[in-house]
Chains A and B, each alone.
Chain A
Amino acid sequence: MELFINQVLAGIATGAIYACMALAVVMIYQAIDHLNFAQGEMAMFSTFIAWQLMQWGVPYWWAFLITLVFSFAGGIVIERMLFKPLAKAPVLTNVAGFIALFAIVNSVAGLTWDFTIKPFPTPFGSSPFLGSQLISTHQAGMIGVTVGLLILLYLFFQFTRIGLAMRAAAALPESARLVGINTSWMIALGWGMASAIGAIAGILIAPVVFLEPNMMGGVLIYGFAAAVLGGLTSPLGAVVGGFLVGVFENLAGTYIPGVGNELKLPIALALIITVLVLKPAGLFGRPIVKRV
């Protein structure tokens, strides 16, 4: 029983990482209606910017703030320069563009900062949280920030004009244009916000997994899985999905005899697919109805 509780707690702590990334995934999906494979790499790059600033002596919170602004602007610039010209191209061509972006960002980061791991500071400290050694104060802080972000995003999409406009632009671009929404800039704004959320995710994840150019590869897989499980249209779903994936995975690894340990990730993914087969829009997603 103790092992069970420990694994659940460890799963929640790891799940916070996935949840964070899943939020960024949902953000970009809301803006452009598909997934950005380079998102993890962009987050990694942002985290390196924060790290570099701190190396130069910038205090943590200033570095955090500058990185957010940089990432927001960077996201918009990338969209304007690289993906706006592809707006008319087929979706699959856009996906190829994401893969190209992935390769570029990863390679540039590798050359600039090389591949040795770097410790990344945390503002929350890493002592045991509430007497439990399984969740550190950093991980608790991470969960707190994730939930905070979730609330902000919910409010943004539900109650601000711009949030509503962004959703409209992604879901029904033509109708949105008819009611006077500048859909093109909505997409750019979505890129900026997704990039900034990714930066927060990276900065929160780095103290746990250490900073290096390949740090987000695995995280992104889990982030996607979490977002899809929760329903790509729902920030709440993404966060819940993140925690579920974290716990699922640990329990599968601990309790499925024989192959459980070696096949943790495939089992977790298989479970998600099973959920999707039963509930194709994810746990919290809205069903999509097709018009013929």
Chain B
Amino acid sequence: MSAVDKVASEAPPVEAVPKRSMTLGTGASLLMLALLIIGPMFVKNFIVFQLTMLLIYALAVLALNILTGGSGQFSLGQSAFYAVGAYTSAILMEHFGVNYALTLPVAGLICFGFGFLFGQPALRLSGIYLALATFALAVAMPQLLKLGVFEHWTGGVQGLVVTKPDAPFGLPISQDRWLYYFTLTIAIGIYIASVNLLKSRSGRAFMAIRDNEIAASAMGVDVALYKTLAFGVSAGITGVAGGLGAIAVQFVAPDGYTITLAISLFLGMVVGGVGWLPGSIVGSAFIIFVPNIAEGISKGLSGAVFGVLLFLVIFLVPHGARQVAIVAQQMLGKLTKG
């Protein structure tokens, strides 16, 4: 049996998304921004809380999108980075009395380092093998958090309760609303930075690797560096999301960061459209609200209803929300011309 028995010549697993279509037009972006700013002023605190979670998961989905949609690497281990970020924030706040806002950059940096290191061995793996490696990370994380050695810091199986911050400067808004706008500011910052990253030299390197690794290498792209860098950036953003999540939920425990979370984030990316950054928020909405809808339809069969709804979505729009956006854009284009 010769070594060149199987030649993989099929298309890369992640289709090429031209970088222009990775973002939203200026008009649409501003409209979305206005909605995100004004909307929460008129709703109950509970909905504000849900919207905060929406933004937080959107950030985590966005991070996965940079990794998969940007550099073509697949990860089922995002829950591990999310957990590290959450625990970093929680431990800094509760054990060291650090201000919540200051814990986020720390969480991001630690996760960046962690992701960058993890990216090293992951370099030799791709496709299903990489999926298994990241999956192993996701499975291991809750068990690591439970370890007796770290129990003093992590609270072990019992987890840690986190104090929710008040609005600063005596602003007359509720904790939930304050946290929402705080999260929104960070989310917008990260979104803009991500868009710029993908448009930059590094972003072009990511996409070159995604579309054809060997060709990219031949063109002089340092494949190893950029692949690990993508892992680092993705992990860092996920870590910030994790930290925000810990503050919003006011609690961290190993059970909150299982493989289920990683799978949810993955589903969020697919539903939002792989490689389309604005889709992250659509994906995030899917993973937060669709389980609630499914449960409303049938409690005993909530899992099945969720599965059926997911099938419906991928049947109708296999390319996720991006497909909807493209169709909408074309229709709009026709209308304005006609």
Contacts and interface: CB of A to CB of B under 8 A. Distances in A.
B303 A263 contact: no
B136 A103 contact: no
Contacts of B315: 85-86
Contacts of B304: 103-104, 107-108, 111
Contacts of A288: 6-8
Contact of A100 (B4, B9, B274, B311): B311
B314 A93 contact: yes
A286 B5 CA distance: 8
A97 B311 contact: yes
Given A108-B301, A290-B214, A92 B143 contact: no
Contacts of B24: none
A178 interface: no
Interface stretch (A4-12, A132-140, A147-155, A221-229): A221-229
B266 interface: yes
B133 A103 contact: no
Interface stretch (B84-92, B120-128, B192-200, B242-250): B120-128
A16 interface: no
A114 to B, nearest CB: 10
B270 A95 contact: yes
A96 B315 CA distance: 11
Contacts of B213: 290
B318 interface: yes
B300 interface: yes
A99 B311 contact: no
A219 interface: no
Q: Which of B6, B213, B302, B319 has the most CB of A within 10 A?
A: B6
Given A100-B310, A100-B314, A224-B132, A277 B121 contact: yes
B225 interface: no
A67 B128 CA distance: 30
Nearest to B312: A100
Nearest to B299: A111
Interface stretch (A55-63, A185-193, A245-253, A268-276): A268-276
Interface string A255-292: 00001001101100110110011001000001111111
Contacts of B5: 286
A101 interface: yes
Given A107-B301, A259-B147, A291 B136 contact: no
A193 to B, nearest CB: 20
Contacts of B274: 90, 92
A77 interface: no
B212 interface: yes
Given A100-B314, A266-B144, A292-B212, A90 B15 contact: yes
A270 B311 CA distance: 33
Contacts of B267: 96, 99
Contacts of A221: 135, 139
A93 B8 contact: no
A82 interface: yes
B306 interface: yes
Nearest to B305: A107
Interface string B222-254: 000000000000000000000000000000000
Contacts of A233: 6
Interface in B199-217: 212-215
A265 B140 CA distance: 8
A273 B129 CA distance: 8
Interface string A91-122: 11101110111111011101100000000000
Contacts of A107: 300-307
Nearest to B136: A269
B15 A273 contact: no
B1 A286 contact: yes
Contacts of B19: none
A53 interface: no
Contacts of B164: none
Nearest to A286: B5
B14 interface: yes
Given A86-B314, A273-B121, A265 B266 contact: no
A289 B14 contact: no
Contact of B143 (A35, A82, A262, A290): A262
A3 interface: no
Q: Which of A90, A97, A225, A269 has the most CB of B within 10 A?
A: A90
Contacts of A172: 7, 9
Contacts of A110: 300, 303
A80 interface: no
A110 B300 CA distance: 8
Nearest to A224: B132
Interface string B302-338: 1111111011001100111000000000000000000
A171 interface: yes
Nearest to B309: A100
23 contacts: A35-B128, A89-B319, A92-B269, A97-B310, A99-B263, A100-B311, A102-B307, A104-B304, A104-B308, A232-B128, A262-B147, A265-B139, A266-B139, A266-B140, A269-B140, A273-B121, A273-B125, A273-B132, A273-B133, A276-B125, A290-B7, A291-B7, A292-B215
Q: Which 4 A-B pairs have the closest CB atoms?
A: A107-B303, A89-B318, A266-B140, A269-B136
Interface of B: 1, 3-10, 13-15, 68, 74, 121, 124-125, 128-129, 131-133, 135-136, 139-140, 143-144, 146-149, 212-215, 218, 263, 266-267, 269-271, 274, 300-308, 310-311, 314-315, 318-320
Given A102-B307, A103-B306, A259-B149, 14 more contacts: A86-B318, A92-B266, A93-B319, A100-B307, A110-B303, A111-B304, A221-B135, A224-B135, A273-B125, A276-B125, A276-B133, A280-B125, A290-B214, A292-B218
